[in-house]
Amino acid sequence: MTGPVAKRVVVHGSVQGVFFRDTARRKAESRGVSGWVRNCADGSVEALFEGDPEAVEAMVGFAREGPRGARVERVDVSDASPEGGEAFRIR
């Protein structure tokens, strides 16, 4: 059994104003993923997904597609250190 993993993603494109953060929160909660998501000043959305490796990969997959209405142009994904959070928050 492996421990939790964490991935940091930065999503570029038309990704603000399309309920990206709220959709990410709902999907993360349903998968038992902790972490956070926030809008950035440059129009991107940044998130940290932490939890079971398969659940985290599912969230990275969501970030590559986005919610309905989003136009994702690029997603930067990097490994991160787990923060030990117990919930998923919108910042």
pLDDT per residue as tens digits for the range 68-80:
999 999 999 999 9
Q: How many domains does the chain have?
A: 1
> Model confidence at 1, in pLDDT bands (50, 70, 90)?
low
**Residue numbers of the domain that contains 43:** 5-84
Please report whether residue 90 resides in a domain. no
Give the CA dihedral 12, 38, 55, 86, nearest 10 degrees. Answer: 170
Largest alpha-carbon pair distance within the chain?
A: 39
- What mean pLDDT is predicted for residues 17-44? 97
The Cα–Cα gap between 41 and 84 comes to 26
Please report whether residue 28 resides in a domain. yes
CATH number of domain containing 22: 3.30.70.100
Q: Which of 25, 39, 71, 74 is catalytic?
A: 39
* pTM for the structure as a whole: 0.94
71 catalytic residue (yes or no):
no
Please report whether residue 91 resides in a domain. no
> Model confidence at 26, in pLDDT bands (50, 70, 90)?
very high
Please report whether residue 60 resides in a domain. yes
Please report whether residue 25 resides in a domain. yes
- What mean pLDDT is predicted for residues 5-24? 97
74 catalytic residue (yes or no):
no
32-55 burial, b at 16+ Cβ within 10 Å, e below that, comes to: ebbbbbebeeeebbbbbbbbbeeb
Please report whether residue 89 resides in a domain. no
Please report whether residue 55 resides in a domain. yes
Q: Which of 8, 21, 26, 71 is catalytic?
A: 21
Paired with 60 in beta bridges are none
Which tens digits make up the pLDDT trace of 36-72?
A: 999 999 999 999 999 999 999 999 999 999 999 999 9
